Amino acid sequence: MAGRTTLLALLAGAAALADASQGDREPVYRDCVLRCDEWNCSGAGLQHFRSHQPIYMSLAGWTCRDDCKYECMWLTVGLYLQEGYRVPQFHGKWPFSRFLFFQEPASAVASFLNGLANLVMLSRYRTSVPASSPMYHTCVAFAWFRDG
């Protein structure tokens, strides 16, 4: 039993390490996020953040902690570049400048276009294939619920 517990603990630790990117593991980044979270995301700091946060950012779900991660990411990137190192990934992604509330605008546009193409093809499918076809309802359900 103890062997299984040890194995599970090792696997969980390995999974946690495999998930983190170089930027996430950087002590400067972690300390910056902790300090920013303490100073800006509670009490008067949080009130200040909320009063200055654009409405579209709050509607999109950007939190104070998300903003801390974003600002600290760029602080860390600046330090890497200043020391002559390559830009690291953060949370499995390369750093991108935020445009409105999109941190990866090209990805957001591609996702939107992908969804639009799915709707167009679903419409074509529904008009050209009779509802009595054997897999009709399965195909329609797949079109609506796939995680594409």
At 20-44, the pLDDT tens digits run: 778 888 889 999 999 998 888 888 8
Task: Give the DSSP H or E segment for 108.
Answer: helix 105-128
Residue 35's Cβ-side half-sphere holds a number of Cα atoms within 13 Å equal to 8
pLDDT exceeds 80 at position 56: no
Residue 28's Cβ-side half-sphere holds a number of Cα atoms within 13 Å equal to 14
Question: pTM of the full predicted structure?
Answer: 0.57
> What CA dihedral angle connects 21, 23, 28 and 30, to 10 degrees?
-50
Cβ atoms < 10 Å from Cβ of 95 = 17
In three-state secondary structure terms, 96 is coil
Among 8-22, 30-44, 134-148, the range with the most confident prediction by mean pLDDT is 30-44
pLDDT tens per residue across span 66-79:
888 888 988 999 99
Give the separation between CA 148 and CA 143, rounded to whole angstroms. Answer: 9
Cβ atoms < 10 Å from Cβ of 14 = 10
pLDDT tens per residue across span 102-130:
666 677 778 888 888 888 888 888 888 88
The phi and psi torsions of 84 (rounded to 5 degrees) equal 85, 15
Domain ranges of the chain: 20-101, 104-147
- Measured CA to CA in angstroms, residue 141 lies from 65, 122, 136, 138, 145 at distances of 37, 10, 9, 5, 6
